[in-house]
Amino acid sequence: MEALVLEKKGELSLRDFPEIDRAETALGPRDVRIRLHTVGICGSDVHYYSHGRIGPFVVNAPMILGHEASGTVIEVGADVERLMEGDRVCMEPGIPDPNSKATQLGMYNIDPTVRFWATPPVHGILRPTCVHPEAFTFKLPDNVSFAEAAMVEPLAVGVHAATKARVRPGDNAIVMGAGPIGLVTALSALAAGCARVYVTDLAAKKLEIAGSLSPAITPVDVTAQDLCDVVKRDTDGWGADIVFEATGSPQAARTVFEALCPGGCVVLIGGQPDPIEYDAGAAMVREARVENIFRYAHVFPRCLSMLSSGAINVKPLITRTFDFSDSVQAFEIAASAPPADVKMQIELPQ
């Protein structure tokens, strides 16, 4: 099958890929076969392309990219009960070991043996079809498009972050970073009950997009404004109840407590390839709670429900769509980090 293959760091090709393991294409009794329709380009895909690794995950052999996806069921296993041929679906890309202690405790996202699409050595799904467990495949509501459904995977990160933050109605929150994950986190925080969300970034265009999403979002250009001054002015000097760090920048991580109120919560979302520092003393005097996010768990159905009801609208975040035949060019553009783009997607031929 033709696939978008990361041959090695900095080298992509769109080619037939006979090397894919039969175990990844054989249909089990509780599996479904899916014809892919839309696949989002994730920052992790771009990072593997640009750097060849993310922390301990190293591209040592050609690997198919892509893990944010939607498609149509074209075949079902003998024991599948919830799905049928023709169903439009999106897929949770991580398959945990059902017998692991983490999975049994409900924390399947941190199962050490989870197999996650496009994380070496597991192949992704920028290819015509894939096989996936029914348990991690979700039928789309009629009013949710394939493009929106391919946004469920990044949206799940934001919803998981808001859940871990324990948002209360009326909270004020800060989201550091106006990239795709930062913006879905801002939308998730508002849907969870935040009264106001401050979104920070260096790129004016991304802040413009952030401000257009909701009147409850206040963009803050940290090159021209002091975040602490803005937040404390609006909160009578108290500070924000929650700070979501979604940049992955060590410099940003060092400042997460500065605008946080006493008793507030910091949620670390942005991936950090190396150890980072933050001010433990500032955390201590605030009795701050610090949460860490690794992907998500138990939130895909919630995301689909919110997209269907209109509680969250991800359409403005989809800023460019490419044909599958232009996948290499799409990644080259994504790697250049154009400031006017949030989420780029690739559509496969049907």
> The domain containing residue 284 runs over which residues?
161-292
Q: Are 38 and 144 part of one and the same domain? A: yes
pLDDT tens for the chain, 350 residues long, are: 899 999 999 999 999 998 787 667 789 999 999 999 999 999 999 999 999 998 788 999 999 999 999 999 999 999 999 999 999 999 999 999 999 999 999 999 999 999 999 999 999 999 999 999 999 999 999 999 999 999 999 999 999 999 999 999 999 999 999 999 999 999 999 999 999 999 999 999 999 999 999 999 999 999 999 999 999 999 999 999 999 999 988 899 899 999 999 999 999 998 776 788 888 999 999 999 999 999 999 999 999 999 999 999 999 999 999 999 999 999 999 999 888 899 999 999 99
Report CA 116 to chain centroid distance, whole Å.
13
pLDDT of residue 18: 85
Q: Are 138 and 172 part of one and the same domain? A: no
Instruction: Establish if 62 belongs to a structural domain.
Output: yes
Are the beta carbons of 295 and 57 closer than 8 angstroms? no
Q: What is the DSSP letter of 119?
A: B
CB contact burial 54-73 (16+ within 10 A = b; e otherwise): beebebeebbbbbbbbbbbb
Q: Are 142 and 186 part of one and the same domain? A: no
pLDDT of residue 340: 87
Q: Are 202 and 224 part of one and the same domain? A: yes
Q: Are 136 and 10 part of one and the same domain? A: yes
Q: Are 205 and 140 part of one and the same domain? A: no
Sequence-separated contacts (24+) of 198-203 with Cβ below 8 Å: 198/172, 198/173, 198/174, 198/227, 198/230, 198/231, 198/240, 199/174, 199/175, 200/174, 200/175, 200/176, 200/227, 201/177, 203/178, 203/339
Phi, psi of 197 (to 5 degrees): -130, 125
- CATH label of the domain that carries residue 34: 3.90.180.10
The single-letter code of the amino acid at 47 is H
CA–CA gap between residue 273 and residue 78 (Å, rounded):
42
- CATH label of the domain that carries residue 269: 3.40.50.720
Strand partners, 141: none
